[in-house]
Amino acid sequence: MEKCQCEVNEKVRVSSDYYAWCDKYEGSIGAASKKRVIKNRNDPKFWGLEIKERVLCGFCLGNLIEEMPRRKKYLFWEYEKRGYWN
């Protein structure tokens, strides 16, 4: 029997099949399919942020944009242009 992948996977797991909730704002966020993990764009680690919150919406990430590395700021603005935060 293989070892459980949940123990080694660093992705944030959520309780719902389709939604997660922002740790600050308490708004709903779409989860990545039925795998019950958040999308990278809602993970503060993806943006180079070392904070205690594990899931953030686009609004809350936008408030932390000054703490992001330059490349991640550019990527955040690209995501905003594509409408990922609406």
Predicted local distance difference test score (pLDDT) of residue 67: 95
CA pair distance 53, 83, nearest whole angstrom: 23
How many Å apart are CA 31 and CA 19, to the nearest integer?
A: 5
What does each C-alpha distance from 31 to 2, 11, 42, 47 come to in angstroms?
Answer: 26, 12, 9, 17
Average pLDDT, stretch 43-54? Answer: 91
Q: Across residues 37-64, what is the average pLDDT? A: 90
pTM of the shown model:
0.76
DSSP 34-80: GGTB--GGG-GGGGT---S-S---HHHHHHTGGGS-HHHHHHHHHHH
How large a percentage of the chain has pLDDT more than 90? 36
